Amino acid sequence: MPIQPYTPPPFELEVSDLVRGKTHLKQKVRFLRLEHDDANRTATVHIQVVPYALAEDGSYGEAQTRPPFTSYFDAIVASNSRLVDMRNGAILAERSFGTPAADADWLAAIARIETSAVPAMYQGDYFLYLRDNQPLIIGDVIRQYIQQADAAPSRFA
């Protein structure tokens, strides 16, 4: 029997529109790759953000290829500076850095979550836990993570 080829469909998600003054662009994120770093307890999702013209009907027009609106590469890093719900990966708290108040807020968030009924885990550990212990369709996890990055305030808008 011949070897069967597989050409996956583009792994893209629609994300928030980019609005700068009177300029309004639609956007999509293309997944490029996922990297785990056990030593640093991180999972990095490498993406490409592609801007599109806004068509008259509000849909996606042509991809923009000239400055100042061209595609760019980005990375979303899941790290232990966030706490997530182990049941679904939802972000429960995120650590800010740089001030004693931020440190106090982080410690308060940890204390609040530890006394709740929500099973929580640090986000970097969560991705490693999924990799090692859960049968899953990794595309669904990556899509959810990109959608979380697009939630208000969107990193793409």
pLDDT per residue as tens digits for the range 80-91: 999 999 999 999
- pLDDT at residue 105, rounded to an integer: 92
| Residue 106 confidence class, pLDDT cut points 50, 70, 90 | very high
Residue-by-residue DSSP string for 73-140: EEEEEE-TTEEEETTT--EEEE---SSHHHHHHHHHHHHHHHTSSS-EEEHHHHHHHHHHH----HHH
Average pLDDT (112-119) is 95
pLDDT band at 96 (very low <50, low <70, confident <90, very high): confident
Over pLDDT 90: what percentage of the chain? 64
Q: Are 47 and 31 in contact (CB under 8 A)?
A: yes
> Looking at residues 31-36, what average pLDDT do you find?
93
> Average model confidence (pLDDT) for the chain?
91
Give the model confidence (pLDDT) of 133-153 as tens digits: 888 788 888 898 899 899 878
| Region 24-34 average pLDDT | 95
Q: Are the CB atoms for 92 and 112 separated by under 8 Å? A: no
pLDDT value for 32: 95
Query: Which pLDDT score is estimated for 97?
Result: 86
CA distance readout (Å), 43 to 36, 37, 122, 142: 4, 6, 12, 10
What pLDDT score does 14 carry? 95
